[in-house]
Amino acid sequence: MSRRVVLIGHPVSHSFSAAMQQAAFDALGIDATYELWDRTPLQLADTIAEIRGEDFLGANVTIPHKERVALLVDRLTEDAHATGAVNTITREGKRLVGHNTDVPGFRIALDKLVGKQKMPRQAVVLGAGGGARAVVHGLITEGFQRVIVFNRHLHRAEKLVRHFSKSAAHMELRAMPWHESVIEAELSKTRLLVNATSIGLHGDETPVPGELLPPDLLVLDLIYNPARTHLLRDAASAGDTAANGELMLLHQGAAAFALWTGQPAPLEVMSAALEQARAAGIQSAEGEPTGSAPSS
Ligand code: NDP
């Protein structure tokens, strides 16, 4: 029987996951297809019920469903429980297990960004959704001492901070209102800025005006498509060290692949497929025919 894995999100058309995962299945001769399912929050419960069928190996979950899905599966792994967010689902018989492979993906991206420098201890995080939860958990467990979370809707950032109150009891984890002057003041006291909002995903927008970025900041934008967001271009102009979310995408995907198949992920194949999807996306922007690659 051919098996299925689905990406559940709304929207999903920006995603490179299908290109990456399908290439990995094909390279290892696994008879499986990776499908994009655009499902609204109202359709989510029925969608999760649907993937309990035997033909499913599991699923990925993306914007805006990661937190809600944590309430719909039967069991959570440690990282999924700690974050209250699920980006990967596996099946144990009819039971669904929620995992969070964004956490190891973020750790690898952070290590690469910091490189040989000393790991900072202060961070500013923009956003309070599922991705931000993986980031904040990663920062807490990495030993950060001060993490400030800004979000458009302050109550969601406050909820995130409450969620981590036990694991962050030894450090300062605070939610602050989204005011440019407050963000500027916090950026002047920090070494690391992580954008975990979806600002920049759909248009050439930035969460933070370029003039607010101090030099020598480490900037990680979780967005990987487009590759150079407005924020990343501004960071480069300010003399900052910056990276997009592609390495996090690759490694969260590799961890998910291993969970579904029980086999180590073919990292090089997946990385090459990402590059191809990116190239096809660039062609698309230039008006060339692209087939289905950029949206998959
Ligand atoms: P969610 O839908 O859970 O959260 C979206 C976040 O973006 C919220 O904080 C939301 O604020 C904020 N936001 C959205 N639109 C606006 C806006 N117009 N103005 C201000 N704030 C806005 O999504 P996720 O957390 O799952 O994903 C967030 C981003 O991170 C996405 O771009 C996603 O692609 C990326 N990501 C990348 C990963 C990778 O592997 N590279 C892994 C995980 C995420 P509010 O709460 O106020 O609505």
Q: In the predicted model, what is the mean pLDDT of the chain? A: 94
The answer to whether the CB of 30 falls within 8 A of the CB of 257 is no
Segment 56-92, tens digit of pLDDT: 999 999 999 999 999 999 999 999 999 999 999 999 9
pLDDT of 295 > 80? The answer is: no
The atom of ligand 1 lying closest to the CA of 109 is 41
User: How many Cα neighbours within 13 Å face the side chain of 229?
Assistant: 31
The atom of ligand 1 lying closest to the CA of 197 is 7
pLDDT confidence band for 294 (50 / 70 / 90): very low
Q: Describe the strand order of the beta sheet including 56-61 as a list of residue ranges.
A: 32-38, 3-9, 56-61, 88-92, 95-99, 75-76
* Mean pLDDT of the region 193-206: 96
- Ligand 1, residues at Cβ distance < 6 Å: 62-64, 66, 102, 105, 127-132, 151-153, 156, 196-199, 201, 222-224, 245, 248-249, 252
The atom of ligand 1 lying closest to the CA of 65 is 3
Residue whose CA is at the smallest distance from ligand 1 atom 2: 64
Quick one: tokens of 240?
């900052």
Give me ligand 1 centre to Cα 60, in Å.
16
Q: Which of 16, 17, 63, 151 to mutate to test the pocket of ligand 1 (most atoms within 8 A of CB)?
A: 63
pLDDT of residue 282: 61
pLDDT of residue 145: 98
Q: Which of 133-137, 274-278, 285-289, 290-294 has the lowest mean pLDDT?
A: 290-294
Give me ligand 1 centre to Cα 201, in Å.
9
CA distance 157 to 201: 20
Segment 11-21, tens digit of pLDDT: 998 899 999 99
Could you say which of 66, 112, 116, 159 is catalytic? 66
Q: Which of 192, 252, 188 is nearest to 218 (CA)?
A: 192
Q: Which amino acid is at 196?
A: A
The answer to whether the CB of 156 falls within 8 A of the CB of 126 is no
Contacts of residue 160, Cβ cutoff 8 Å, sequence gap at least 6: 128, 132, 133, 136, 149, 151, 175
pLDDT of 196 > 90? The answer is: yes
Contacts of residue 262, Cβ cutoff 8 Å, sequence gap at least 6: none
Give me ligand 1 centre to Cα 1, in Å.
36
* Mean pLDDT of the region 251-266: 98
pLDDT of 291 > 60? The answer is: no
Contacts of residue 97, Cβ cutoff 8 Å, sequence gap at least 6: 73, 74, 75, 76, 77, 89, 90, 91
CA distance 101 to 276: 23
Segment 122-167, tens digit of pLDDT: 999 999 999 999 999 999 999 999 999 999 999 999 999 999 999 9
Report which of residues 284 and 148 the model is more confident about.
148
* Mean pLDDT of the region 286-293: 36
pLDDT of 186 > 80? The answer is: yes
Q: Which of 181, 193, 102 is nearest to 144 (CA)?
A: 193
Segment 217-245, tens digit of pLDDT: 999 999 999 999 999 999 999 999 999 99
pLDDT of 292 > 60? The answer is: no
pLDDT of residue 283: 53
pLDDT confidence band for 111 (50 / 70 / 90): very high
Based on the residue annotation, tell me whether 66 is a catalytic residue of this protein: yes
Neighbours of 102 (CB within 10 A): 36
Residue whose CA is at the smallest distance from ligand 1 atom 29: 198
pLDDT of residue 1: 87
